[in-house]
Amino acid sequence: MAAHYYTVTWDQLHRDARALAWRLMALRPLRGIVAVTRGGLIPAAIIARELEVRLVESVSVVTYDEENRGQPVVTKPPTAAGDGEGFLIIDDLVDTGTTARVVRGLLPRAHFACVYAKPAGKVMVDSFVTEVSQDTWIMFPWDTEPQFAVPLARREGGS
Protein backbone atom coordinates (compact mmCIF):
# COMPACT_ATOMS: atom_id res chain seq x y z
CA MET A 1 0.00 0.00 0.00
CA ALA A 2 1.28 3.48 -0.83
CA ALA A 3 2.22 5.90 1.94
CA HIS A 4 0.73 8.88 0.11
CA TYR A 5 -1.97 9.43 -2.49
CA TYR A 6 -2.01 12.24 -5.04
CA THR A 7 -5.31 12.85 -6.84
CA VAL A 8 -5.13 14.21 -10.38
CA THR A 9 -8.31 15.76 -11.82
CA TRP A 10 -9.28 15.75 -15.49
CA ASP A 11 -8.49 19.48 -15.71
CA GLN A 12 -5.08 19.03 -14.13
CA LEU A 13 -4.22 16.06 -16.36
CA HIS A 14 -5.19 18.09 -19.41
CA ARG A 15 -3.04 21.06 -18.32
CA ASP A 16 -0.08 18.80 -17.49
CA ALA A 17 -0.32 16.91 -20.80
CA ARG A 18 -0.42 20.23 -22.69
CA ALA A 19 2.64 21.40 -20.71
CA LEU A 20 4.42 18.22 -21.78
CA ALA A 21 3.39 18.84 -25.41
CA TRP A 22 4.85 22.33 -25.18
CA ARG A 23 8.17 20.85 -24.02
CA LEU A 24 8.10 18.40 -26.94
CA MET A 25 7.50 20.99 -29.66
CA ALA A 26 11.20 20.95 -30.68
CA LEU A 27 10.93 17.28 -31.69
CA ARG A 28 8.63 18.09 -34.60
CA PRO A 29 8.12 16.87 -37.23
CA LEU A 30 7.24 13.47 -35.79
CA ARG A 31 6.24 10.36 -37.70
CA GLY A 32 3.89 9.30 -34.91
CA ILE A 33 3.15 8.68 -31.26
CA VAL A 34 3.12 5.41 -29.35
CA ALA A 35 0.74 5.43 -26.38
CA VAL A 36 1.59 3.05 -23.56
CA THR A 37 -1.73 1.47 -22.61
CA ARG A 38 -3.76 2.11 -20.69
CA GLY A 39 -2.48 5.13 -18.80
CA GLY A 40 -0.76 6.76 -21.75
CA LEU A 41 -3.82 6.75 -24.03
CA ILE A 42 -5.41 9.99 -22.84
CA PRO A 43 -2.16 12.00 -22.53
CA ALA A 44 -1.14 10.68 -25.97
CA ALA A 45 -4.43 11.89 -27.50
CA ILE A 46 -3.96 15.35 -25.98
CA ILE A 47 -0.34 15.54 -27.11
CA ALA A 48 -1.17 14.22 -30.60
CA ARG A 49 -3.72 17.02 -30.95
CA GLU A 50 -1.35 19.71 -29.68
CA LEU A 51 1.55 18.58 -31.90
CA GLU A 52 -0.77 17.81 -34.85
CA VAL A 53 0.33 14.18 -35.08
CA ARG A 54 -2.16 11.90 -36.85
CA LEU A 55 -0.50 8.48 -36.47
CA VAL A 56 -1.10 7.14 -32.96
CA GLU A 57 0.07 3.59 -32.30
CA SER A 58 -0.14 1.73 -29.00
CA VAL A 59 1.91 -0.72 -26.98
CA SER A 60 0.45 -2.77 -24.16
CA VAL A 61 2.71 -3.92 -21.35
CA VAL A 62 0.97 -5.49 -18.37
CA THR A 63 2.86 -4.98 -15.08
CA TYR A 64 0.19 -4.07 -12.50
CA ASP A 65 -2.70 -5.89 -10.91
CA GLU A 66 -4.35 -3.16 -8.82
CA GLU A 67 -1.38 -1.87 -6.75
CA ASN A 68 0.73 -5.05 -7.04
CA ARG A 69 3.57 -5.29 -9.55
CA GLY A 70 4.30 -8.44 -11.54
CA GLN A 71 6.63 -9.41 -14.37
CA PRO A 72 6.09 -7.26 -17.49
CA VAL A 73 4.38 -8.94 -20.42
CA VAL A 74 3.99 -7.29 -23.85
CA THR A 75 0.43 -8.12 -24.89
CA LYS A 76 0.36 -5.79 -27.94
CA PRO A 77 3.57 -4.65 -29.69
CA PRO A 78 3.81 -1.25 -31.44
CA THR A 79 4.18 -2.69 -34.95
CA ALA A 80 3.71 0.57 -36.91
CA ALA A 81 6.56 2.30 -35.05
CA GLY A 82 9.42 0.08 -36.24
CA ASP A 83 12.49 0.82 -34.10
CA GLY A 84 10.94 4.08 -32.89
CA GLU A 85 12.80 6.50 -35.15
CA GLY A 86 10.69 9.67 -35.47
CA PHE A 87 8.25 8.44 -32.83
CA LEU A 88 7.32 9.79 -29.44
CA ILE A 89 6.38 7.34 -26.67
CA ILE A 90 3.82 8.73 -24.22
CA ASP A 91 2.86 7.32 -20.83
CA ASP A 92 1.04 8.82 -17.87
CA LEU A 93 3.66 7.81 -15.31
CA VAL A 94 7.09 6.26 -14.96
CA ASP A 95 7.27 4.54 -11.56
CA THR A 96 10.11 2.04 -11.13
CA GLY A 97 11.01 2.08 -14.83
CA THR A 98 9.99 -1.54 -15.44
CA THR A 99 7.49 -0.76 -18.21
CA ALA A 100 9.77 1.94 -19.65
CA ARG A 101 12.67 -0.56 -19.96
CA VAL A 102 10.48 -2.98 -21.88
CA VAL A 103 9.12 -0.28 -24.20
CA ARG A 104 12.60 1.22 -24.74
CA GLY A 105 13.78 -2.27 -25.73
CA LEU A 106 11.06 -2.37 -28.39
CA LEU A 107 11.58 1.24 -29.58
CA PRO A 108 15.22 2.16 -28.88
CA ARG A 109 15.24 5.19 -31.20
CA ALA A 110 12.05 6.85 -29.89
CA HIS A 111 11.82 9.79 -27.48
CA PHE A 112 10.12 8.67 -24.27
CA ALA A 113 7.96 11.23 -22.42
CA CYS A 114 5.74 10.91 -19.35
CA VAL A 115 3.45 13.34 -17.63
CA TYR A 116 4.51 12.25 -14.13
CA ALA A 117 7.74 10.63 -12.91
CA LYS A 118 8.98 8.99 -9.72
CA PRO A 119 12.67 9.07 -8.75
CA ALA A 120 13.37 5.36 -9.42
CA GLY A 121 12.09 5.53 -12.99
CA LYS A 122 12.78 9.06 -14.20
CA VAL A 123 16.19 8.09 -15.63
CA MET A 124 14.33 5.85 -18.11
CA VAL A 125 12.49 8.73 -19.79
CA ASP A 126 13.71 11.69 -21.82
CA SER A 127 11.02 14.18 -20.74
CA PHE A 128 8.44 14.60 -17.98
CA VAL A 129 6.47 17.42 -16.37
CA THR A 130 5.98 16.63 -12.68
CA GLU A 131 7.98 14.53 -10.23
CA VAL A 132 6.28 12.84 -7.27
CA SER A 133 7.85 10.86 -4.43
CA GLN A 134 8.42 7.13 -4.84
CA ASP A 135 5.95 6.30 -2.05
CA THR A 136 3.10 8.25 -3.68
CA TRP A 137 0.29 6.49 -5.55
CA ILE A 138 -1.21 8.77 -8.19
CA MET A 139 -4.98 8.54 -8.41
CA PHE A 140 -5.74 9.33 -12.04
CA PRO A 141 -9.21 10.62 -12.99
CA TRP A 142 -10.11 7.34 -14.71
CA ASP A 143 -9.48 5.53 -11.39
CA THR A 144 -11.75 7.72 -9.26
CA GLU A 145 -15.27 9.12 -9.13
CA PRO A 146 -16.74 12.10 -7.31
CA GLN A 147 -18.68 11.19 -4.21
CA PHE A 148 -20.10 12.74 -1.06
CA ALA A 149 -17.56 13.71 1.61
CA VAL A 150 -18.66 13.82 5.24
CA PRO A 151 -18.22 17.35 6.70
CA LEU A 152 -15.25 17.60 9.06
CA ALA A 153 -17.53 18.52 11.98
CA ARG A 154 -19.36 15.19 11.61
CA ARG A 155 -16.23 13.04 11.48
CA GLU A 156 -14.89 11.29 14.53
CA GLY A 157 -12.87 13.79 16.55
CA GLY A 158 -14.09 16.70 14.40
CA SER A 159 -15.53 18.74 17.26
What residues are annotated to the active site?
A: 91-92, 95
For the CA atoms of 133, 78, 81, 129, the dihedral, rounded to the nearest 10 degrees, stands at -10
Q: Are 34 and 89 in contact (CB under 8 A)?
A: yes
